[in-house]
């Protein structure tokens, strides 16, 4: 079968179409004939050599797919061949087929296009686990989302609104700020021309926000602390601006606040299973009702994975980028 392999750490040009062995299901695995695969920042980091796959995962990238089940492990009971599904992966989505534990698979929502669905598992699992399971976001809270038009950011805005929170979101252009508002943000913030700390303080009458979802890192962390309300929580999920930061520990203590760093891919299987169970029970109905949807930026054929990565790295995309495998 085809897979997009990484010939060496480097730029998009190192992504190569290769022939690899078909996956064999373990006892609790299903094999999915991939219709589409989501493209994520983590894939770019893996291509650059900064985010290697965990032990046992395929060495080619891809953290989420949609498709059709074509084979079952001996102990699988909850699925059947022919089911349309989406799945959260530790890697291997940039391929014709992938094997994945049955607990990381969700049914395709009725009426949702397979290509769109490929953009849901990673973003929704990341947003739900961070905002709800870890930060405890609930109705009446205030949420600040950085990168509001990214794949995760666009889902996080909608999820926060659906949960009854007031959401503020940063973005880098007036067009992207408008999209944040379209997704439900009470206020989009152009970080190139506005200070998000000042904006959220003014919008909250000086109180600050309860939760910050930060995928930027670097010097944003210190400003996140400034933007927090008492008891606030900063959920750090990526470090696009850098891995090092200096914060005012006194301010953090005075606000009785916390910074929580998380990843999804490297979690033990039982934790990822629990997250997907929670997503299926609580967030999947929001998708089925249309309260949370994928904002699709672009779709590329599998052979054009390098072009998709260039689009991701340009920062010009709005929403999810996917690879159309079938």
Within this chain, do residues 90 and 190 fall inside the same structural domain, yes or no?
no
What separation in angstroms does the CA of 167 have from each of 204, 219, 273? Answer: 11, 22, 28
Q: What is the pLDDT of residue 92?
A: 97
Q: What is the pLDDT of residue 239?
A: 82
Within this chain, do residues 129 and 152 fall inside the same structural domain, yes or no?
yes
Q: Which residues contact 301 (CB under 8 A, 6 or more apart)?
A: 323, 324
What separation in angstroms does the CA of 275 have from each of 128, 131, 160? Answer: 8, 12, 17
- Exposure string of 221-234, with b = 16+ CB inside 10 Å and e = fewer, is bebbbbbbbeebbb
Q: Which residues contact 112 (CB under 8 A, 6 or more apart)?
A: 287
Closest CA relative to residue 38, chosen from 155, 168, 145: 155
Q: What is the pLDDT of residue 90?
A: 96
**Chosen domain end from 239, 261, 283:** 261
Within this chain, do residues 128 and 257 fall inside the same structural domain, yes or no?
yes
Q: Give the span between the Cα atoms of 150 and 171, in whole angstroms.
A: 9
Within this chain, do residues 56 and 163 fall inside the same structural domain, yes or no?
no
Could you tell me the two tokens for 167?
A: 């959401």
Within this chain, do residues 127 and 116 fall inside the same structural domain, yes or no?
no
Backbone angles phi, psi at 193, to 5 degrees: -125, -5
Q: Choose between 241 and 201: higher pLDDT.
A: 201
Q: What is the pLDDT of residues 239-273, one digit of tens each?
A: 887 888 899 999 999 999 999 999 999 899 999 99
Band of the pLDDT at 9, cuts 50, 70, 90?
A: very high
**Chosen domain end from 236, 261, 286:** 261
The verdict on residue 105 lying in a domain is yes
Within this chain, do residues 198 and 245 fall inside the same structural domain, yes or no?
yes
The verdict on residue 270 lying in a domain is no
Within this chain, do residues 201 and 300 fall inside the same structural domain, yes or no?
no
Closest CA relative to residue 278, chosen from 133, 151, 152: 133
Within this chain, do residues 131 and 227 fall inside the same structural domain, yes or no?
yes
Q: What is the pLDDT of residue 242?
A: 81
| Pairing mode, strands 228-236 and 209-214 | parallel
Tell me the average pLDDT across 278-289: 96
Is the model's pLDDT at 297 over the cut of 90?
yes
Q: Give the span between the Cα atoms of 21 and 8, in whole angstroms.
A: 20
The verdict on residue 127 lying in a domain is yes
User: Domain with 315 in it: what CATH number?
Assistant: 3.90.180.10
> Cα(first)–Cα(last) distance of the chain, in Å?
12
> How many domains is the chain partitioned into structurally?
2
Q: What is the pLDDT of residue 243?
A: 85
Within this chain, do residues 146 and 256 fall inside the same structural domain, yes or no?
yes
User: Domain with 191 in it: what CATH number?
Assistant: 3.40.50.720
The verdict on residue 242 lying in a domain is yes
Within this chain, do residues 187 and 310 fall inside the same structural domain, yes or no?
no
The verdict on residue 272 lying in a domain is no
Q: What is the pLDDT of residues 103-119, one digit of tens each?
A: 999 999 988 999 999 99
Q: Give the span between the Cα atoms of 92 and 37, in whole angstroms.
A: 9
Within this chain, do residues 115 and 127 fall inside the same structural domain, yes or no?
no
The verdict on residue 288 lying in a domain is no
The verdict on residue 224 lying in a domain is yes
Is the model's pLDDT at 284 over the cut of 90?
yes
Q: What is the pLDDT of residues 57-107, one digit of tens each?
A: 999 999 999 999 999 999 999 999 999 999 999 999 999 999 999 999 999
Could you tell me the two tokens for 156?
A: 């996080």
**Chosen domain end from 261, 284, 311:** 261
The verdict on residue 274 lying in a domain is no
Domain carrying residue 69: 2-120+294-324
Q: What is the dihedral of CA 39, 41, 42, 48, to 10 degrees?
A: 110
Q: What is the 3-state secondary structure (H, E, C) of the chain?
A: CEEEEECCCCCHHHEEEEECCCCCCCCCEEEEEEEEEEECHHHHHHHCCCCCCCCCCCCCCCCEEEEEEEEECCCCCCCCCCCEEEEECCCCCCECEEEEEHHHEEECCCCCCHHHHCCCHHHHHHHHHHHHHHCCCCCCCEEEECCCCCHHHHHHHHHHHHCCCEEEEEECCHHHHHHHHHHCCCEEEECCCCCHHHHHHHHCCCCCEEEEEECCCCCHHHHHHHHEEEEEEEEECCCCCCCCCCCCHHHHHHCCCEEEECCCCCCCHHHHHHHHHHHHHHHHHHHHHCCCCCCEEEEEEHHHHHHHHHHHHHCCCCCEEEEECC
Within this chain, do residues 102 and 128 fall inside the same structural domain, yes or no?
no
Q: What percent of the chain has pLDDT over 70?
A: 100
- For the chain, the residue count is 326
């Amino acid at each position: 079968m085809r897979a997009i392999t990484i010939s060496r750490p480097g730029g998009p040009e190192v992504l190569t179409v290769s022939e690899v062995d078909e996956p064999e299901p373990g006892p609790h695995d299903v094999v999915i004939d991939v219709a589409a695969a989501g493209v994520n920042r983590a894939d770019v980091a893996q291509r650059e050599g900064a985010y290697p796959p965990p032990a046992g995962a395929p060495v080619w990238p891809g953290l989420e797919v949609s498709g059709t089940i074509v084979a079952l492990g001996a102990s699988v009971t909850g699925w059947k061949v022919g089911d349309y599904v989406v799945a959260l992966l530790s890697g291997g989505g940039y391929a014709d087929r992938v094997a994945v534990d049955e607990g990381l698979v969700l049914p395709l929502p009725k009426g949702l296009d397979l290509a769109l669905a490929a953009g849901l598992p990673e973003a929704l699992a990341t947003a739900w686990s961070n905002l709800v399971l870890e930060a405890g976001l609930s109705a009446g809270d205030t949420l600040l989302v950085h990168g509001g038009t990214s794949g995760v950011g666009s889902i996080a805005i909608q999820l926060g609104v659906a949960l009854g929170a007031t959401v503020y979101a940063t973005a880098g252009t007036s067009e992207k700020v408008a999209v944040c508002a379209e997704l439900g943000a009470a206020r989009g913030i152009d970080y190139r021309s506005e200070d998000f700390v000042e904006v959220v303080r003014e919008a909250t009458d000086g109180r600050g926000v309860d939760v910050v979802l930060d995928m930027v890192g670097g010097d944003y962390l210190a400003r996140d602390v400034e933007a927090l309300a008492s008891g606030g929580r900063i959920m750090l999920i990526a470090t696009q601006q850098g891995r090092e930061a200096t914060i005012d520990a006194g301010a953090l203590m005075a606000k009785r606040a916390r910074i929580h760093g998380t990843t999804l891919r490297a979690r033990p299987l039982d934790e990822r299973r629990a997250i997907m169970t929670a997503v299926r029970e609580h967030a999947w109905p929001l998708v089925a009702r249309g309260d949370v949807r994928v904002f699709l930026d672009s779709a590329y054929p599998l052979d054009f994975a390098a072009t998709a990565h260039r689009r991701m790295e340009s920062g010009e995309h709005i929403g999810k980028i996917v690879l159309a495998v079938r």
